[in-house]
Amino acid sequence: MDWIAPLLAWYERNARPLPWRSTRDPYHILVSEVMLQQTRVSAVLDYYARFLSQFPDLAALALADDDALMKAWEGLGYYSRAKNLKRAAAEAVSRYSGALPADYDALALLPGLGAYTAGAVASIAFSIPVPAVDGNVLRVLARLENDARDISDPSAKRRAREKLLASMPQDEPGRFNQALMELGALVCVPNGEPRCALCPVAAFCRAREAGTEQLLPVKTGKKPRRVEEKTVFALTLGGKLLGYRRQDSGLLASLWQLPDEPGLLNAEQMAYWLAGRGLTATGELLVCRRKHIFTHVEWHMLVCRAAVSGAVPDGWTPLDDDAHALPTAYRVCLE
Ligand code: SF4
């Protein structure tokens, strides 16, 4: 792969100075890689610093209180990542004396890691020459090789991994993996036109040569998201917002939520719904619409805001903003 040297030289000059790039601490790198899954760098920066000050090492994370952990992750989404990170920390404490193992296969077996994250941690923190193949890397490779095979097919990852494994620099695998990711983030971008005029490996790019860079990668259509309609109640009692904990499996498992009801209720049905829980609106019911998009489902919400009187219904709690993690899907109902 002739493009490796120009890629590394470009990375040397253009890498963004991100906090996780100035450390080789395996735990810090693991936290950054898990946070960066499905999430933009700009959104991660503050969370990364706060998370590490709250949970400075694997031992602290392994002992984290679940509500405190969810609160630290609040707004970042994909909360199962945080739960798996805690499980991985607990396993590192019990099986590896509180450190992450310097071994790709052992890392890949930790909860929530998988091939990509294990590859990133192994190569960046431990200089183990293994690739870290994610969607960005698949896109860049498909374009560099003008490869029109479907990158959502599991065989694409396997092929990319084998190819990179055979050619990646043995002395600086972490820098190589990061350079490829950075190229995908800054130049060979996912949405819109790739910035070929700025690309350090344009001279080696077969898609650029063939004029197919905007047609690649080929990715078969995802299933359309399911739409769920619901009415969400943003109710305050004595100035405190009311909510309850979600069930411990499925979407947003164990987090806190505002009360809701399937379907879009009209004003009369909302008042009836409140009465059924022993609550009475003390003023007008304010109604607005909100939408929240998850990976596989969209919530179309009718939000009913009201101050209410009555007793806190069984199983409900006055929410404390410092203690209860309310996911963004519900937070947007308060805006
Ligand atoms: Fe991507 Fe364009 Fe560079 Fe090819 S030349 S790798 S399409 S940015």
What average pLDDT is seen over the chain? 95
Q: What is the pLDDT of residues 100-126, one digit of tens each?
A: 999 999 999 999 999 999 999 999 999
With 90 as the cut, is the pLDDT of residue 314 above it? yes
Mutating to test ligand 1, I would choose from 141, 151, 182, 213 the residue with most ligand atoms within 8 A of its C-beta, which is: 213
Q: With a 6 A CB cut-off, is 144 part of the ligand 1 pocket?
A: yes
- Residue 71 and residue 55: Cα distance in Å, rounded? 12
The pLDDT of residue 224: 84
- Residue 289 and residue 276: Cα distance in Å, rounded? 23
Q: What is the pLDDT of residues 56-67, one digit of tens each?
A: 999 999 999 999
- Alpha helix segments (H runs only) across the chain: 4-14, 26-36, 41-54, 58-62, 66-73, 80-95, 104-108, 114-126, 135-144, 154-167, 173-186, 206-210, 267-275, 328-331
Separation of CA 166 and ligand 1 centre (Å): 22
Q: With a 6 A CB cut-off, is 52 part of the ligand 1 pocket?
A: no
Mean pLDDT of all residues in 301-313 = 96
Mutating to test ligand 1, I would choose from 139, 201, 215 the residue with most ligand atoms within 8 A of its C-beta, which is: 201
Helix axes 173-186, 114-126, angle to 10 degrees: 120
**How many CB atoms sit inside 10 A of residue 2's CB?**
10
pTM beyond cutoff 0.95: no
Q: What is the pLDDT of residues 203-262, one digit of tens each?
A: 999 999 999 999 999 998 778 899 999 999 999 999 999 999 999 888 999 899 999 999
Ligand 1 atom closest to Cα of 195?
A: 8
- State the catalytic residues: 33
Mean pLDDT of all residues in 186-197 = 93
Q: What is the pLDDT of residues 46-104, one digit of tens each?
A: 999 999 999 999 999 999 999 999 999 999 999 999 999 999 999 999 999 999 999 99
Separation of CA 158 and ligand 1 centre (Å): 22
Q: With a 6 A CB cut-off, is 142 part of the ligand 1 pocket?
A: no
The pLDDT of residue 295: 84
Please give the share of the chain, as a percent, with pLDDT higher than 90. Answer: 91
The pLDDT of residue 122: 98
The type of residue at 296 is H
